[in-house]
Amino acid sequence: MIVAIIQARMGSTRLPGKVLRDVCNRPLLYHVVSRLRHSRRIDRLLVATSIRQPDDDVAAFCDQQSISCFRGSEDDVLDRYYNAARRYAADTVVRITADCPLIDPAILDEIIEAYQKTGCDYASNTLDRTYPDGLDVEVFSFEALKKAWHEAILVSEREHVTPYIWKNPDKFKIHQIKDKIDRSSLRWTVDEPEDLEFIRSIYRFLYRPGRIFLMNEVLRLLEERPELMQINQGFQRNEGYIRSLENDHIVDDTEMKDRRIIP
Please answer whether residues 134 and 102 qualify as being in contact, where contact means their C-beta atoms are separated by less than 8 angstroms: yes
The predicted structure's pLDDT at residue 252 = 60
Q: Which residues of the chain fall below pLDDT 50?
A: none
Distance CA 3, CA 19 (A): 20
The predicted structure's pLDDT at residue 12 = 81
The predicted structure's pLDDT at residue 234 = 80
First to last CA, the chain: 21
Distance CA 260, CA 252 (A): 12
DSSP state for residue 126 in the 8-state scheme: S
Distance CA 245, CA 155 (A): 8
* Phi-psi label, residue 110: left if phi above 0, alpha if psi -120 to 50, beta otherwise: alpha
Q: For residue range 115-153, what is the model confidence (pLDDT) as tens digits?
A: 999 999 999 999 999 999 999 999 999 999 999 999 999
Domain range for residue 165? 2-259
Give 202's contacts (C-beta < 8 A, 6+ positions apart).
102, 188, 218, 221, 228
Name residue 170's amino acid.
D
Give 56's contacts (C-beta < 8 A, 6+ positions apart).
none
Distance CA 40, CA 124 (A): 17
The predicted structure's pLDDT at residue 240 = 58
The predicted structure's pLDDT at residue 165 = 98
The predicted structure's pLDDT at residue 28 = 98
Distances (CA, A) of 15 to 9, 12, 61, 191, 260: 11, 5, 19, 6, 25
Q: What is the CATH number of the domain that holds 207?
A: 3.90.550.10
The predicted structure's pLDDT at residue 244 = 55
> Pick from 13, 244, 204: which is nearest to 101 by CA?
204
Number of compact structural domains in the chain: 1
Spell out the alpha helix ranges (H) of 42-182: 56-64, 77-87, 105-118, 142-151, 155-159, 163-166
- Decide: residue 212, CB within 10 A, 0-12 exposed, 13-18 middle, 19+ buried: middle
Predicted structure pTM score: 0.90
The predicted structure's pLDDT at residue 63 = 98
What is residue 71's three-state secondary structure? strand
Distance CA 184, CA 69 (A): 31
The predicted structure's pLDDT at residue 239 = 61
